[in-house]
Amino acid sequence: MNISLQYASVSLEGLEFFAYHGFYEEERKIGNRYTLDITVEATVEKAAENDTLQHTINYEILYQIAVEVMKTPALLLEHIAYQVIQKVFAAFTTAEVVEVVVRKHNPPIGGVCGASKIGLKMKREN
């Protein structure tokens, strides 16, 4: 049988952080709760065939990337997502597409809002 594995999708969803991001100085002082989702499309055929961690997207490393990025205050959610994506591409040469969703819970908009959210998706250019 001739079967070819194209891409696999590896995700971490609902990563929760308390961090000090925001456009307003007060947000960066008092902090807020954030949630991240990271999805990576990658070639993982060797991992699937051989049951080897080094040939897939290690989600423990994905989590450490998120922790690292969330420690550094940023003004915009877009910047947080961009930083995560760049670090994922640097860490995993097999990553082809990376998508990050960042949610800020109870954003300061002057009204009731469960969360503001941005999504950023980037593709590796060869």
Which residues are tagged catalytic? 104
* C-beta separation of 41 from 56 below 8 A: no
| Cα angle, residue 13 at apex, residues 78 and 46 outer, rounded to 5° | 105
Token pair for residue 4?
């070819």
Q: How far apart are the first and last CA of the chain?
A: 30
Positive/negative CA dihedral, 70, 76, 80, 81 = positive
